[in-house]
Structure 1
Amino acid sequence: MFDFAVFGSLFLTLFVIMDPPGITPIFLALSSGRPAKIQRRMAWQAAAVAFGVIAVFGLCGQQILDYLHVSVPALMIAGGLLLLLIALDLLTGKSEEPTQTKEVNAALVPLGMPLLAGPGAIVSVILAVQDADGFGGQLSVWAAILAMHVVLWLTMRYSLLIIRVIKDGGVVLVTRLAGMMLSALAVQQIINGVLQVVDGA
């Protein structure tokens, strides 16, 4: 039987961690200057990649981490460092990659992974799948995961309307703000990972 408590709990947890409103300026910064068709494609690609990564870790995440001898804090620190590199590019306005690869890469990295499907979301899903009882519990968990990614796609898809309102000057401002937010998020993630390593030592 479908468990609305499990669904609601995981959905809210993922909403806080994946933060659809907070992802909007970062998505706008990474997708600005591209044709509308490519921006729309980036929105669903990012959501699809995030869902794919979360689904894989939901199904066999603990086994993957154990096999690779990778701890959760190591995953957090690596994700934080990757986000920090992206944030520095946004802050300095550098874009050295060719246009075509950048269009693809921005949707996959950093949007799909590790920004949306980051260590926090991955760990939450692994624990939720392990704790779910029976078919109803599992159905509730996967329904929450799917619903969260639909919300993420809709948020990014319709945030493109903002670009038409704020024009180029506004996009530059949003890009710098997004870089600052993302750098703070990255540093916090690295700190959390280091603190977990210290606590576990």
Structure 2
Amino acid sequence: MDKTLIANFAAALLAIVNPIGNLPIFISYTAGERQGVQRWLALFISVTILGFLLLFLLTGTTILKFFGISIAAFRIAGGILLLLTGIGMVRGQQMQRTHEIANQAQYDDLVEAESVYRKILIPLGIPIFVGPGSISTVILYGSQARDRLTFLALMGIIVAVALFTLLVLMGSLWTRRVLGKFGLDIATRILGLFLAAIGVQFILSGLADATVNFISPDIQ
């Protein structure tokens, strides 16, 4: 068992998935929902992280190659989605959208959560929580696992990160009560600006990878 590889993978994956840093985004998407719905959504997002990362760990680059998609192209597409989402958050469109979704699905918590989840999976689940960074990290470390125990340990790390994300997102209920509706609206708009900037950075990084550092060439 390669303990160094496992430790590095755990640190890298936790930093990239970044459940604590992404908590405000989750709050902004679920602000108009009941507590029971928010708990179900936290579970759905965590299962999404678990399912997709395990899938890419097991299949490696096969899926991307099958569709002819490079990590750079995936990064650019994700950046465009984040940019559009950030602009919508700055303009206050996201809060309005969550209230509209809530009004359209006045059922029990699970049914309403399923309705909301279908609408926010992109970009909340992908590419915010499961994006090019986490996918490439999983593929890279998976390819370096030389024995079965190490590979199983990498799977265990993914499970642990998903569970930690679930616990963090469950804490959004407390954060929402502290901020209040007005504070949450202000935080959402400020966060939207940063999210748009992250989207632009994703696009630039993807273009740099796709053009072999054409945007930021190495100067000898």
Which amino acid in structure 1 is aligned with residue 49 of structure 2? A
Deviating above 2 A after TM superposition, structure 1's stretches of 4 or more consecutive aligned residues are: 3-7, 95-98
Whether the 8 Å CA contact 1:8–1:144 is kept in 2: the answer is no
Whether the 8 Å CA contact 1:163–1:171 is kept in 2: the answer is yes
Give the whole-Å Cα distance in 1 for the aligned partners of 2:144 and 2:85: 35
**Equivalent residue, structure 2, for 1:153:** 166
Q: CA deviation at 1:90?
A: 1.1
Give the whole-Å Cα distance in 2 for the aligned partners of 1:28 and 1:112: 13
**Equivalent residue, structure 2, for 1:34:** 33
* Number of equivalent positions: 200
Q: CA deviation at 1:146?
A: 1.1
Is the counterpart of residue 192 in structure 1 residue 191 in structure 2?
no
- Matches of residues 81-92 of structure 1 in structure 2 within 5 Å? 81-92=80-91
Which amino acid in structure 2 is aligned with residue 59 of structure 1? L
Which structure shows the bigger proportion of residues in helix conformation? Answer: 1
Coordinate RMSD, CA, aligned: 1.9
Give the whole-Å Cα distance in 1 for the aligned partners of 2:122 and 2:25: 12
| CA separation of 1:181 and 1:32: change in aligned 2, threshold 3 A | same
Which amino acid in structure 2 is aligned with residue 16 of structure 1? A
Give the whole-Å Cα distance in 2 for the aligned partners of 1:186 and 1:92: 16
Unaligned runs of 5+ in 1: none
Whether the 8 Å CA contact 1:46–1:107 is kept in 2: the answer is no
The one-character-per-residue Cα deviations of 1:101-132 (angstroms, maximum 9, x if unpaired) are 87223552222111111001001101111110
> TM-score, normalised on structure 2?
0.84
**Equivalent residue, structure 1, for 2:48:** 49
**Equivalent residue, structure 2, for 1:59:** 58
Is the counterpart of residue 115 in structure 1 residue 128 in structure 2?
yes
**Equivalent residue, structure 1, for 2:116:** 103
Unaligned runs of 5+ in 2: 106-113, 215-220
Whether the 8 Å CA contact 1:77–1:194 is kept in 2: the answer is yes
**Equivalent residue, structure 2, for 1:162:** 175
> TM-score, normalised on structure 1?
0.92
**Equivalent residue, structure 2, for 1:16:** 15
Whether the 8 Å CA contact 2:60–2:142 is kept in 1: the answer is no
Which amino acid in structure 2 is aligned with residue 91 of structure 1? V
Determine what percentage of the aligned residue pairs are the same residue. 31
Which amino acid in structure 2 is aligned with residue 25 of structure 1? P
Higher Rg: 2
Whether the 8 Å CA contact 2:49–2:130 is kept in 1: the answer is yes
Which amino acid in structure 2 is aligned with residue 5 of structure 1? T
